[in-house]
Chain A
């Protein structure tokens, strides 16, 4: 038997909104460690890794490891039915082919349950090697979202370059070019508004903007985003999920062949 209870149900809603357009189907793995998921987008260019640690839930019970194959659009439909303040319980019995979502209003005067059919998903689990990154940029997530949105009105790809000057986001398209430079900014009272750049080596990589815009749908989950870059390696765009874990997006670079 598997059961989790999350008082801040809106968190699960936000997680689903962040990944439902990128990934169609995924296996959610439940173990003593927590609730996790790894999946590629249909083009096999991007990879999403989600971890919600068991300690972060108000209640978490997992008698044996299970893997639940779920269509994300359908799970998102169900989670949309939860109120933002609702307490969410997810449970699955051993050997059944469905998972139940229960939503309780904070005052306990409305209780809903939804049963979602599970599916067999034959997905490849990729090993993500530990990497030392050439540059790590931490910046306000809303700023990153704004930059990706603005640049995508000009071009299809973004070149992210980290130098001593800061981090530069550049694009070019039919109408012209755009460059946005963000400098390190630690002298703010509010840490959520800081931009911090750790650079070991200068790095410049090219990525498809439409994926970056898709990742930015995770913005409501965290005030800061961490972008880790190394030459000729996938970028990692990470949103921490308050006290519980993270959602990490990996995107393969465009490379001169």
Chain B
């Protein structure tokens, strides 16, 4: 089963 990731996992706060 796949679970939903969040954007912050890939793009960090700048």
Q: Is B4 a contact of A46 with CB atoms below 8 Å?
A: no
The CA-CA distance from A139 to B1 in the complex, in Å, is: 30
Q: Which residue of B lies closest to A254 (CB)?
A: B2
Interface residues of A in 27-50 (CB under 8 A from B): 40, 43-47
Q: Is A124 a contact of B2 with CB atoms below 8 Å?
A: no
Complex contacts, B12 vs chain A, CB 8 Å:
126-127
Q: Is B5 a contact of A126 with CB atoms below 8 Å?
A: no
Q: Is A208 a contact of B4 with CB atoms below 8 Å?
A: yes
B7 to chain A, nearest CB (A): 5
Complex contacts, A234 vs chain B, CB 8 Å:
7, 10-11
Say which residue of B1, B3, B7 sits within 8 Å of A126 (CB atoms). Answer: B7
The CA-CA distance from A32 to B12 in the complex, in Å, is: 25
A200 to chain B, nearest CB (A): 19
Q: Is B5 a contact of A252 with CB atoms below 8 Å?
A: yes
Q: Is B4 a contact of A126 with CB atoms below 8 Å?
A: no
Q: Is A47 a contact of B11 with CB atoms below 8 Å?
A: yes
Q: Is A255 a contact of B2 with CB atoms below 8 Å?
A: yes
The CA-CA distance from A124 to B14 in the complex, in Å, is: 8
Q: Does A256 interact with chain B (Cβ within 8 Å)?
A: yes
- Contacts A124-B13, A125-B14, A127-B13 given; does A254 touch B4 at CB 8 Å: yes
Complex contacts, B3 vs chain A, CB 8 Å:
254-257
Q: Is A206 a contact of B2 with CB atoms below 8 Å?
A: yes
Complex contacts, A257 vs chain B, CB 8 Å:
2-3
Q: Does A140 interact with chain B (Cβ within 8 Å)?
A: no
Where the two chains meet, the residues of A that have a C-beta atom closer than 8 Å to any C-beta of B are: 40, 43-47, 124-129, 157, 206, 208, 233-234, 250, 252-257
